[in-house]
Structure 1
Amino acid sequence: MTNDPRPSADIAVIGGSGFYSFLDDATEVEVQTPFGPPSDPITIGELHGRRVAFVPRHGRDHRFPPHRIPYRANLWALRALGVRQVLAPSAVGSLVPEHGPGTLCVPDQLVDRTSGRAQTFYDEGAAVHVPFADPYCPDGRHAAVTAASAAGWPPVDGGSLVVIEGPRFSTRAESRWFAAQGWTLVGMTGHPEAVLARELALCYTPLCLVTDLDAGIETGEGVTMQEVLRVFADNVDRLRTVVADVIKALPADRACPCPAALDDIEPPFALP
Structure 2
Amino acid sequence: MTDAVTNAVLGIIGGSGIYDLPGLENGRDEAIASPWGEPSAALRRGTIAGLPIVFLSRHDRGHRLSPSDINYRANIDVLKRAGVTDLISLSACGSFREELPPGTFVLVDQFVDRTYKRESSFFGKGCVAHVSMAHPVSPRLRIHLAAAAEAEGIPFSRGGTYVCMEGPQFSSLAESTTYKALGYSVIGMTNMPEAKLAREAEICYASVAMVTDFDCWHPDHDAVTVQDIVRVLSSNAEKARGLVARLARDFPRVHEPCPIGSDRALDTALITAPDARDPELLQKLDAVAGRVLRA
TM range (shorter): over 0.9
TM-score scaled to structure 2, two decimals? Answer: 0.86
Q: Which residue of 2 aligns with 1:225?
A: 226
The runs of at least 4 consecutive aligned structure 1 residues that moved more than 6 Å come to: none
TM-score scaled to structure 1, two decimals? Answer: 0.93
Q: Is the 8 A contact 1:106 1:207 kept in 2?
A: yes
2:256 aligned partner, one-letter code? R
Which of residues 242, 250, 255 is equivalent to 1:253? 255
Q: Does 1:196 align with 2:197?
A: yes
Q: Is the 8 A contact 1:145 1:154 kept in 2?
A: no
Measure, in 2, the Cα distance between the counterparts of 1:140 and 1:19.
Answer: 22
Measure, in 2, the Cα distance between the counterparts of 1:214 and 1:65.
Answer: 19
Alignment deviations for residues 102-145 of structure 1 (CA, whole Å, 9 cap, x no partner): 11110110000111210000022122000110101111111001
Q: Is the 8 A contact 1:203 1:259 kept in 2?
A: yes
Q: Is the 8 A contact 1:175 1:217 kept in 2?
A: no
Measure, in 1, the Cα distance between the counterparts of 2:75 and 2:170.
Answer: 24
2:241 aligned partner, one-letter code? R
Alignment deviations for residues 182-218 of structure 1 (CA, whole Å, 9 cap, x no partner): 1010000010110000000001110111000000123
The structure with more radius of gyration: 2
Q: Is the 8 A contact 1:24 1:45 kept in 2?
A: yes
Q: Which residue of 1 aligns with 2:156?
A: 155
Measure, in 1, the Cα distance between the counterparts of 2:103 and 2:69.
Answer: 27
Residue 101 of structure 1 deviates from its aligned partner by 0.6
Q: Which residue of 2 aligns with 1:244?
A: 245
Q: Is the 8 A contact 1:15 1:56 kept in 2?
A: yes
Q: Which residue of 1 aligns with 2:3?
A: none
Gap change, CA 1:182 and 1:220, over 3 Å in 2: closer
Measure, in 2, the Cα distance between the counterparts of 1:126 and 1:176.
Answer: 40
Q: Which residue of 1 aligns with 2:174?
A: 173
Q: Which residue of 2 aligns with 1:207?
A: 208
Gap change, CA 1:240 and 1:26, over 3 Å in 2: same
2:153 aligned partner, one-letter code? G
Measure, in 1, the Cα distance between the counterparts of 2:221 and 2:89.
Answer: 30
Q: Which residue of 1 aligns with 2:291?
A: none
Q: Is the 8 A contact 2:103 2:155 kept in 1?
A: no
SS in 2 for 1:168: coil
Which of residues 251, 263, 267 is equivalent to 1:263? 267
Extract unaligned runs of 5+ from structure 2. Answer: 1-6, 288-295
Q: Which residue of 2 aligns with 1:5?
A: none
Extract unaligned runs of 5+ from structure 1. Answer: 1-7
Measure, in 2, the Cα distance between the counterparts of 1:38 and 1:220.
Answer: 34
SS in 2 for 1:91: strand
- 1:83-98 matches, cutoff 5 A: 83-98=84-99
Measure, in 2, the Cα distance between the counterparts of 1:64 and 1:93.
Answer: 19
Residue 14 of structure 1 deviates from its aligned partner by 0.5
Measure, in 2, the Cα distance between the counterparts of 1:246 and 1:124.
Answer: 40
Deviates more, 1:10-19 or 1:111-120: 10-19
Deviates more, 1:13-22 or 1:92-101: 13-22
